[in-house]
Structure 1
Amino acid sequence: MRSIVLTKGVPDFSEGAVSFDEDGHLERGKTPTVMNPNDAFALEAALQTRVRHGGHVSAMSMGPPGYADVLEEAMESVYADDTYLLSDRELAASDTWATAITLSAGIEKFREEVEDVDLVFAGFKTADGETGQTGPQACWAMDWPIVTHVIALDIDPDERVLRAKRLVEGDVDEIETVEAPLPCFVVTDPEFEPTYRKASHRLTHKRLRAETQERAVEHEEQLTTWDHVDLNLDPEYIGLDGSPTIVSSVDPIPKAPSERDATMIDPDDGDSMNEVLEEMQPYAAGGD
């Protein structure tokens, strides 16, 4: 079972150092970056599939060279065998459409030069764009079936069918059971939870973790970088030139105000600790 997990670096807003250029475009090379939180669920789904059915998992991202650190984090999360970074200046300032075109080209190159792919996993949405478009758009470019909002899944390798439960949000949340032929795209929902019911699955999970810890030490040896020439992409259809989205303005994100005053207590100060104990006792006893 061959899988690719798409992941992305997003600004680390907690650092308060998000940098934009004069045109309102995020300068990712100057902004602290972390792995997109929603991608963790896609990584968990790929890992569960690998534990249950074996195979090979690759993590893929598009971004500046610094995204190698994001792929290293993805490798440690999904115990990936290798990682792929799509990166050069021609890809800068891509919107979701240009990003999807680039990712689909990366997947096609992988299929042609490495091995065919059964599943592509993507996160629900990114913390910076919040559109949820890149996964479905990349799937559209591949002309594959797609299952979104997946909260549970398994594979029938003999019939080459994905069976999944997906969350349908409306007036009342409903769970829908669906099937899709392989190869296909899977977009995980934040409600996704991996399950390992068999002892053999838990042992495999433990073994993969140990192997990855050794492999991640030399992460760069498992990293392949492709630029737009490698992907045979026309610069007019990627990056800023290939992005129909227009950024009209960017508003800074204000720092959230502190809602409570904090009082520092020295644990060696007996009188102060007694005051804390007296303050907390009514609540420990069920008082208001």
Structure 2
Amino acid sequence: MKIIVCVKQVPNTNQIKINPETGTLIREGVPAILNPDDANALEEALKVKDANPGTTVTVITMGPPQAKEMLQECVAMGADEGILLSDRALGGSDTWATSNAVAAGIRKVGDFDIIFAGRQAIDGDTAQVGPQIAEKLGIPQVTYATEFDIDGDSVVVKRALEDGYERLKVKMPCVITAIKELNTPRYMSIRGILKGAKQEIKVWSADDIGVDRSVVGLKASPTNVFKSFTPKPKGAGLTVEGDTAKEKAANLMADMKARHII
């Protein structure tokens, strides 16, 4: 069985700040990490590999040269190889253009049975790239997977909905997007870290994957971010004093009258 996992290197949003004057993200000094949902996608692929001898796991991403380090971490976790799509022609791509590039990269990889991807990236939260890749490749997809099993030439997925769950069965090849409820990602092993450090990461350009340059990059992206900003902080709350609920209610009413709210 051959599995491909789509991943992304993202800034650690726990340490992200926004410049109040320009409204842009301050990325300097912010560490880059493997997107959390993508870690769940990789873990599920590795679970399939553990249960099915002979299975290979290829991890693919699009990004700058430094994304190699993330791919080496994926190898350290258990993936067999990493592929980086990196080219100035791909820079500035929105989700539509990104999916065009990644789909082209997957076509170059060749035959596959399953593509795993995270539900969404924490630096965008669009949840669009995985489904768009499936559409570009013309294969079935199941999103928001919380349980996953292989049944012959098909997969059975329990999918989370806003008000419940549904269980779907689709033929392979297919795309599955993972959420954190699917599993708990494993840690890198010492042996894996040594393997990852030595692993040669393949770097493919736009020409290598044969993608039409008119459908990738900033100019090809129909979506543009006009402005990023943080909401204005709310005012301090009011603490209502009183020993009993009746006394607190009376004090609250008095305060609201004093503020001419009532």
* Shorter-chain TM-score above 0.5: yes
Correspondence for 2:170 among 169, 175, 180: 180
**Superposition TM-score, scaled by structure 2 size:** 0.79
What are the ranges of 5 or more consecutive residues in structure 2 without an aligned counterpart? 234-262
Where does residue 169 of structure 1 map in the other structure? 162
User: For the structure 1 residues 84 and 29, does the alpha-carbon distance in structure 2 shift closer, same or farther, using more than 3 Å as the test?
Assistant: farther
RMSD: 2.9
Where does residue 102 of structure 2 map in the other structure? 103
Where does residue 198 of structure 2 map in the other structure? 218
Question: Any conservation in 1 of the 2:76–2:194 contact (CA below 8 Å)?
Answer: no
- State the structure with bigger RCO (CA 8 A, min sep 6), 1 or 2: 2
Residues 45-60 of structure 1 aligned to structure 2 (within 5 Å): 45-54=44-53, 55-60=55-60
Specify the code of the residue in structure 2 equivalent to 1:155. Answer: I
User: For the structure 1 residues 80 and 166, does the alpha-carbon distance in structure 2 shift closer, same or farther, using more than 3 Å as the test?
Assistant: same
Shift of the alpha carbon at 1:214? 3.8
Alpha-carbon distance between aligned partners in 1 of 2:117 and 2:209, rounded to the nearest angstrom: 20
The alignment of Structure 1 onto Structure 2 pairs a total of residues equal to 230
Identity %: 34
Residues 25-104 of structure 1 aligned to structure 2 (within 5 Å): 32-54=31-53, 55-77=55-77, 79-104=78-103
Where does residue 231 of structure 1 map in the other structure? 209
Shift of the alpha carbon at 1:14? 3.9
Specify the code of the residue in structure 1 equivalent to 2:214. Answer: E
Shift of the alpha carbon at 1:210? 6.6
Specify the code of the residue in structure 1 equivalent to 2:6. Answer: L
Specify the code of the residue in structure 2 equivalent to 1:45. Answer: E
Specify the code of the residue in structure 2 equivalent to 1:185. Answer: V
User: For the structure 1 residues 106 and 30, does the alpha-carbon distance in structure 2 shift closer, same or farther, using more than 3 Å as the test?
Assistant: farther
User: For the structure 1 residues 217 and 247, does the alpha-carbon distance in structure 2 shift closer, same or farther, using more than 3 Å as the test?
Assistant: closer
Alpha-carbon distance between aligned partners in 2 of 1:250 and 1:211, rounded to the nearest angstrom: 42
Alpha-carbon distance between aligned partners in 2 of 1:4 and 1:194, rounded to the nearest angstrom: 19
Shift of the alpha carbon at 1:165? 1.5
Specify the code of the residue in structure 1 equivalent to 2:161. Answer: V
Where does residue 143 of structure 2 map in the other structure? 148
Alpha-carbon distance between aligned partners in 1 of 2:202 and 2:231, rounded to the nearest angstrom: 35
Question: Any conservation in 1 of the 2:73–2:193 contact (CA below 8 Å)?
Answer: no
SS in 2 for 1:105: helix
C-alpha distance after superposition, 1:89-142 (max 9, x if no partner): 11111100000000000000000xxxx100000001110110100000011000
Correspondence for 1:245 among 223, 246, 255: 223
Does the alignment pair 1:129 with 2:124?
yes
Alpha-carbon distance between aligned partners in 2 of 1:153 and 1:179, rounded to the nearest angstrom: 10
Alpha-carbon distance between aligned partners in 2 of 1:142 and 1:168, rounded to the nearest angstrom: 25
Shift of the alpha carbon at 1:209? 5.1
Does the alignment pair 1:190 with 2:180?
yes
SS in 2 for 1:153: strand
What are the ranges of 5 or more consecutive residues in structure 1 without an aligned counterpart? 196-204, 256-288
Deviates more, 1:28-37 or 1:41-50: 28-37
Alpha-carbon distance between aligned partners in 2 of 1:212 and 1:11, rounded to the nearest angstrom: 24
User: For the structure 1 residues 76 and 181, does the alpha-carbon distance in structure 2 shift closer, same or farther, using more than 3 Å as the test?
Assistant: same
Alpha-carbon distance between aligned partners in 2 of 1:68 and 1:232, rounded to the nearest angstrom: 21
Shift of the alpha carbon at 1:215? 1.6
Where does residue 236 of structure 2 map in the other structure? none
**Superposition TM-score, scaled by structure 1 size:** 0.72
SS in 1 for 2:105: helix
Alpha-carbon distance between aligned partners in 2 of 1:51 and 1:146, rounded to the nearest angstrom: 23
